[in-house]
Every structure is written in C-alpha cells, then in structure tokens.
Amino acid sequence: MKKRLFAVLMSCIVAILVAHDACVKDKCRQVVCNNGGVCVAGVCACPAGYEGVSCSQMWNEKFAGRWQAADSVAKDNITRYKYEITNNIGNNRDSFYMAGFADTVSMQIMCTRQAYRSFKIPEQKIDSFLILKSGIGTLDSVTGQIKGSYAYLRKIPISNTETKDTNVTVYFLWRR
C-alpha cells in the first residue's frame, strides 16, 4: 500500500512539474507599448513614426532644434558655406521641416523619414529659378552629427526667354 501511495504521489508531482514547465510564459505580460505599439515576444513593435523601448518617442524628435550647418560643393570637404538651420518637427511624426536651408531659402524645406536614423529630401520647387531635386541625411549615432547630400537645379537667365540649367550636388554636415 505504501509503495502504491508513493507511486501515485510521485506521478502527481512529475505531472505537475511537466505541466508547469510546458506552460508558455507570456513575455509581454510586463511590457507596456505606447502610441499603438504591439508587444511581440517581449519587445514592442512600434507603429510608423514612433520608436524606443516602449514606442514613446517620435522618430523626428532626434532631428529637432538648431544645427550649425556646413556645405561643400565638391567632395573635397572644404566648407563653402556656414549657416544655421532650425528643424521644426510639427505634427507629422514621419517628417520635419528645415528653416534657413542653404542660408538663402526663406521657405521651409520638408524632409521625410527614410529609415531609423536617416531622412530624405524630396523634390521641391523653391522658386522659378531653383528646384531642390533630392537629398538624404543620416544621423551618426556616435558623433551626433548629420551628414548627407542634396542636389539642386538652378536656372540661370541668359536672356529674357532663355535659361541655362546648372545641376549642383552639395555635401553637408550638421552639428549641434
């Protein structure tokens, strides 16, 4: 009788241990994801425009504020222009706007999300003589600087009816 009772108790203990270890643990039980983020295997999957451990930061926040900009027209790294820009993040979490771009442009230039640390500058008509063709910038996670390039088309009037188109590529570096 003692052997039978011992065998039943041991069987119950083994069954409980197996059942306990076989249970799937919820890795998301303690994880809070903000702004519509969803927990997947203990990590927040953030919706477009949000990032961070709990999806609490907007993508464009890292680009906001004042930057000291330096432009060079060739890859020789000789600074041709220095100016200050201000990035306004606005309400759209997948874009931001630059004010003071190229030290001459009075309008705000839109930049849109390309990846986690990079943005693109889509084509924008500045005025009747200047078209910003495209650009890209990338935030260096170590230095905090943004490096990139943009291209523009300048229409130089030759006569009252004729213009000469000049394509220029500019390399830039922004520092705080």
Q: Reduced to 3 states, what is the DSSP secondary structure of residue 23?
A: coil
The helix, strand and coil proportions of the chain, stated in percent and rounded to the nearest 5, come to 15, 45, 40
Q: Which of 19, 40, 57 is the last residue of a domain?
A: 57
Indicate if 48 and 120 belong to the same structural domain. no
Q: pTM here?
A: 0.76
Categorise residue 138: left if φ over 0, alpha if ψ from -120 to 50, beta otherwise.
Answer: beta
CATH number at residue 9: 2.10.25
Give the residue with greater pLDDT, 138 vs 14: 138
Select from 81, 61, 62, 58 the least CA-distant residue to 71.
Answer: 81
* Average pLDDT score over residue span 117-129: 93
Q: Which one is predicted more confidently, 174 or 107?
A: 174
**Same structural domain for residues 12 and 82?**
no
pLDDT in tens, 127-151: 888 999 999 999 999 999 999 999 9
Do residue 21 and residue 107 come from a single domain? no
User: What is the residue range of 31's domain?
Assistant: 2-57
